[in-house]
Amino acid sequence: MINKAIFIYFAAVILLSAVLVITRKNPIHSVLFMLLLFFHIAGVFVVLNAEFLAAVQLIVYAGAILILYLFVVMLLNVETESKASRANRYWPWAAGFGLLVAAEIALLVARGTFPLDTAQPMRLGASGVKELGIVLYTRYLVPFEIASIILLVGLVGAVMLAKKRSSE
């Protein structure tokens, strides 16, 4: 019962902070709400007895990637960005898509069954971190590298856009 209440708290704060990340006009406020989001995701991992994933969540996302985002935000002109008009014409589409996804999740929860996953779960023994590392860097090396390249391209693109705006 107490775990369910803790999970509901974490889920509510995660949803609220995710919405606040994308709706704030000030990019620094968005980054701070993203930090709150990352901490609460780590809390969900702790509730699920996945302490290693919680530590990785805090070290990698809250520690490293969020700092990179903060540096990119510092490259932007915050005054200009705060006063710029947002893409308000896309809000109905975004809200409709969000409602569609929420309806699908509600349908799955109401049915009580989920589509069968054909992938076999990884069985971790006593040295779970070592086995996780071996599987990640052998079996899932290509997807891991692709995710790294996507993050790098996004960061370089943001820096290039910020540099182009400041040089004009």
Q: What is the pLDDT of residue 121?
A: 57
In a domain, 68, yes or no: yes
Last residue of a domain, one of 17, 50, 83: 83
Looking at the structure, tell me whether residues 15 and 73 fall in a common domain: yes
Domain count, the chain: 2
Q: What is the pLDDT of residue 66?
A: 80
Q: What is the pLDDT of residues 118-148, one digit of tens each?
A: 555 555 555 567 777 888 888 888 888 888 8
Q: What is the pLDDT of residue 87?
A: 55
162 vs 138: CA distance, rounded Å: 37
| Mean pLDDT on 160-164 | 70
Q: Which residue has the tokens 């569609």?
A: 100
In a domain, 57, yes or no: yes
In the predicted structure, residue 160 carries a pLDDT above the cut 90: no
Q: What is the pLDDT of residue 33?
A: 92
In a domain, 117, yes or no: no
Q: Nearest-CA neighbor of 44 among 14, 15, 17, 2? A: 14
Last residue of a domain, one of 51, 83, 115: 83
Is pLDDT larger for residue 87 or for residue 42? 42
40 vs 9: CA distance, rounded Å: 9
Give the number of other Cβ atoms within 10 Å of residue 13's Cβ. Answer: 17
Q: What is the pLDDT of residues 58-112, one digit of tens each?
A: 888 888 888 877 777 777 666 665 565 655 667 788 788 889 988 988 887 788 7
Quote the distance between the C-alpha of residue 31 and its chain's center: 12
In the predicted structure, residue 53 carries a pLDDT above the cut 80: yes
Q: What is the pLDDT of residues 10-35, one digit of tens each?
A: 999 999 999 998 888 787 888 889 98
Torsion of CA 121, 126, 130, 135, to 10 degrees: -20
pTM above 0.75, yes or no: no
